[in-house]
Amino acid sequence: MNHRLKNRRRLLGRRFLACVAVLSLPSVANAKISAPQTIWAKAGVSREQFDAEALECGLQGLALNIDNSEEVKTLARASQQLDALDTSARAAMSVDNAPDIAARNAAQQQTVISAARPDEQYAQIKEKMFKVVRACMLDHGYAKIVLTDDQRSEYRAMKGGAKARRTYLYTLASDPRLLETQREAAPR
């Protein structure tokens, strides 16, 4: 497997880990705390069970074999094309006008990247993984609840770091009253 594909898969894994964290843990972007819109909830669930099941489901999503998916194949083809362009440009620069070749190579690379639509490919891969996570959480009896603006504000204002925010989310997620009143509407 070529070096670029390995790096992209490693990056994909890191991106997905960040997405899994959004399911049940807080996310941090540019040192600003961002509160989730929804969380998984199960009335009366213990903290240990909540953490264990979230981890189990997240790991199931990560274990999804995406190697032969169209998205990965598309990214692999683009990576091969980019490698070929780099090799061709390096060879041509030794005998020709380097600035012109570099500009042409950059334009060709941008065309390959645009055609591959990497952001869309990553989004589709993440969605496949999230489907596994969602199915697992539903199998464990969880439902999504939508956090109110006040709950999200309280989450963002919390002191005590990630542990305090996880505890706050657990408190919300295990409250049977919130499950009744804030359950996410079923998709139509």
Q: What is the structure's pLDDT at 2?
A: 52
pLDDT at position 55 over 60: yes
pTM here is: 0.63
CA 179, CA 36: separation in Å to the nearest integer?
A: 16
Q: Which residue has the tokens 């600003």?
A: 32
- DSSP helix/strand/coil, 66: coil
DSSP strand E in the chain: where?
A: 27-29, 32-34, 38-41, 143-146
The answer to whether residues 81 and 134 touch, using CB atoms and an 8 Å cutoff, is no
Overall average pLDDT of the 43-72 stretch = 90
More confident residue, 178 or 188: 178
Phi/psi at 69 (nearest 5 deg)?
Answer: -75, 155
Overall average pLDDT of the 151-165 stretch = 91
Where residue 89 falls among pLDDT bands split at 50, 70, 90?
A: confident
pLDDT in tens, 93-124: 666 676 777 788 788 888 888 888 888 888 88
| % of the chain with per-residue pLDDT over 90 | 38
pLDDT in tens, 11-50: 444 444 444 444 444 444 444 678 999 999 999 999 999 9
Using left for φ > 0, alpha for ψ between -120 and 50, and beta otherwise, residue 97 falls in beta
Provide the mean pLDDT of the chain. 80
> Mean pLDDT lowest for which of 9-18, 66-75, 147-156?
9-18
